[in-house]
Structure 1
Amino acid sequence: MNLDFILWTPSPEMFSLGAITVRWYGLLFASGFLIGQYILAHIFAKEGKPEEDINAVTMYMVIATVLGARLGHCFFYEPDYFLAHPIEIFKVWNGGLASHGATVGIITALYFYSRNRKGQSFLWILDRIVIVVALGGALIRMGNLMNSEIVGRPSNSPVAFVFGYGGKDVLEQHFGQVVEKVSIQKSGISQAHANAQGIELKPLTLSVQFKEGVSQAQAQEVVSQIPQVLAAYEASREDIEVESSPKVQFTQAGTATIANVEAYGVPRLPSQLFEAISTFLLFAFLYLMWNKKKGNTPEGSIFGLFVVILFSLRFIYEFYKENQVAFEDKMPLNMGQILSIPMVAIGLIVLYMAYTGKTKVKVQ
């Protein structure tokens, strides 16, 4: 029996207060700006820049990141839909942000910011901003992990995750009138087996607790529908599989019936976690580079390194991630990779200019 996998089932929601729900993604997204502002204040203080400019550049960043990331997703990944339903563009809470769009938005906003800031040229401010952008990117990818989204491809790797929250949520929502809650555990009974692609499915147990008063006959009727329900929803069909006639064990918890249903999970690479770790390391590298030189680096050098490293890694990671939209399945490279190529090229050009003296050198 092979149980060498991580079962990932945390809720995207931290807690609710009445009609207000606090989500991990929102908290981590906001934390990127708050922590980034603190780090930027430290950088500005060290280099003798006006403290009041920190709030200004932060405002530019917030607006540019959200607007650029949203428009990037809408027009890079789903242009037909959003052109036909333009009002949907404003519904950011429904999800859909693209890092390439955020990058374009930030660069554009900082160009306008730098025009009237003495001693803060366009490349100078880009060099400082990308340090905190890297940290924000790491926190956003952790938010993606908490949302169980932007997942990796199925894999037999020992570090694979089974993303179970989607299946749990689908069953609770679909059978909400009779089901109290659903939990998912690793199974010590079922045997792992491989699917047609050679991926070793992981044995799980779906514990379905019914509301008081639901008879075992009613519970059996619900259990018989579970395979079809899981297969019908995008949030669950690619992560949790239940055979048409699964093994089921009924137990009682007081007056409530519990059905323990045999299931299997599809292990996937936790691509969000890989990106979060590498982007955090990129943040540390860029900050140490700035700190060691105390700002005396060729203008554009930190920005150039950031763009080359970040989007080179993004290009590689895309080989191990599921495509975000269906049209990418027919492409030799997906949209994330196509958009990364010009970003890397821009970074290389800026680096060349910085280290051949074609950009202004900052000397305190």
Structure 2
Amino acid sequence: MFINWNPDLEAFKIGSFAFRWYSLCWLLGLLLAYLVVRQLFKDQKIKDELFEPLFLYCFLGILIGARLGHCIFYQPDYFLTSWKGVVEMFLPIHFDRYGDWQFSGYQGLASHGGTLGLIIALVLYVKHTGVGLWRVLDNIAIATGTTACFIRLGNLMNSEIIGRQTDVPWAFIFERVDMVPRHPGQLYEAIAYAVLFVIMIVLYKNRMAKYVGTGFYFGLCLTYIFTFRFFIEYTKEVQESFEEAMLFDMGQLLSVPFIVVGAWYMVKGFKKGQKL
């Protein structure tokens, strides 16, 4: 009754260059967010020239933040203890035991770090363009569910961030990992983030467009995502061995500050929007 899961890692090839599903999902997620935010900017009559740099800021902020977040929070003993580890932290390569290197892509990205990187990138974007910070944050928050959904679908295609063993009828057997039926935690998250995007659009279209710029959508996004992340961790295997002895794993501990900050901004933004 279980679902055997062992897809090819490569979506397609162009000559000798293979394009992985994970990379494709990342790009599709960013592209959809780009299109959504572009439409929101047009709807709010923000000049096109102020929008154009936004994608680059977001792409670099998410990628750098997610990569550093994984290396520093989950594998500091590897990435911060040798010059090879430091190089691998920043470049998409891997050194073998003989000292030779090969292209590996960025294997290891943390959503908490990606969120921090995105926020920092948006602050820099605001300073460069002069667009209101909360207007930018709220617009990005509305589109965030699309990118988050596709990133988790990429994790599913990679058979990574696997769930705990279970006997539910929809369990996945990740053949690349073992032959044990497990919770498809990546799929749970992908569905949750797709629902978040629908909620955001419904709110925006139903007389809540005026709340853009108050911080309400930014707060709702953080609260929803990281509350879900906290509880979904109970269905997932720990990513690093040191987490096994912890009451709450690293993903849960890193989620708490985002939940608190998000709830505060959501309430504050809602009260501000009520006065508009």
Taking structure 1 as the reference length, the TM-score comes to 0.69
Aligned counterpart for 2:112 among listed residues 82, 100, 105: 100
Q: 1:318, 1:162 → 2: CA distance?
A: 18
Output the amino acid matched with 2:198: A
Equivalent of 2:189, from 275, 299, 307?
A: 275
Matched, 1:126 2:126: no
CA–CA distance in structure 2, aligned partners of residues 136 and 143 of structure 1: 11
The Cα offsets for residues 330-359 of structure 1, whole Å up to 9 and x where unpaired, read as 1111100000000000011112322333xx
- What is the SS of the residue equivalent to 2:181? coil
Matched, 1:81 2:92: no
Q: Give the Cα–Cα distance (whole angstroms) in 2 for the partners of residues 94 and 353 of structure 1.
A: 37
CA contact (8 A) 2:6 2:174 kept: yes
Structure 1 match to 2:202: 288
| 1:124–1:300 contact (8 Å) kept in structure 2 | yes
- Greater per-residue helix proportion: 2
Query: CA offsets per residue over residues 215-269 of structure 1, 9 Å max, x none?
Result: xxxxxxxxxxxxxxxxxxxxx4xx1xxxxxxxxxxxxxxxxxxxxxxxxx31001
Output the CA distance in 2 between the equivalents of 1:294 and 1:47: 13
Are 1:295 and 1:362, in contact at CA under 8 Å, matched by a contact in 2?
Answer: no
Q: Which amino acid aligns with 2:89?
A: I
CA distance in 2 between partners of 1:348 and 1:15 (Å)? 42
The whole-number CA distance in structure 2 between the counterparts of 1:362 and 1:72 is: 38
What is the CA distance between 1:158 and its match in structure 2?
0.7
Which residue of structure 2 lines up, in the alignment, with residue 333 of structure 1? 248
In structure 1, runs of 5+ residues without a counterpart are 167-235, 240-264
Q: CA RMSD in A?
A: 1.7
Structure with the higher strand share, 1 or 2: 1
Letter of the 1:89 counterpart: M
Query: One-letter code of the match for 2:231?
Result: I
Matched, 1:114 2:126: yes
Deviation of 1:124 after TM superposition, in Å, equals 1.3
The one-character-per-residue Cα deviations of 1:275-320 (angstroms, maximum 9, x if unpaired) are: 0001011011112212223630161111111100100000000011
Q: Tell me the residue number matched to 1:351.
A: 266
TM-score, reference length from structure 2? 0.90
CA deviation string 1:110-136 (max 9, x = no partner): 112123544x32111111001222110
Aligned counterparts, 1:132-151, within 5 A: 132-151=143-162
1:10 and 2:13 are equivalent in the alignment: no
Indicate whether 1:155 and 2:166 are aligned. yes
Is the Cα contact below 8 Å between 1:314 and 1:340 reproduced in 2? yes
Residue 36 of structure 1 and its aligned partner are, at CA, apart by 1.4
Is 1:32 paired with 2:29? yes
Determine which of 294, 299, 319 is the counterpart of 2:234: 319
Structure 2 distance, partners of 1:361, 1:82, is 48
Q: Distance in 1 between matches of 2:210 and 2:261?
A: 22
Q: Is the 8 A contact 2:211 2:270 kept in 1?
A: no
What is the CA-CA distance between 1:15 and the residue it aligns to? Answer: 2.2
* Amino acid across the alignment from 2:90: F
Does the aligned pair in 1 maintain the 2:67–2:106 contact within 8 Å? no
Q: Secondary structure at the match of 1:16?
A: strand
Contact 1:10-1:146 within 8 A present in 2 as well: yes
Identity in percent = 38
Cα distance in 1 for partners of 2:128, 2:267 equals 27
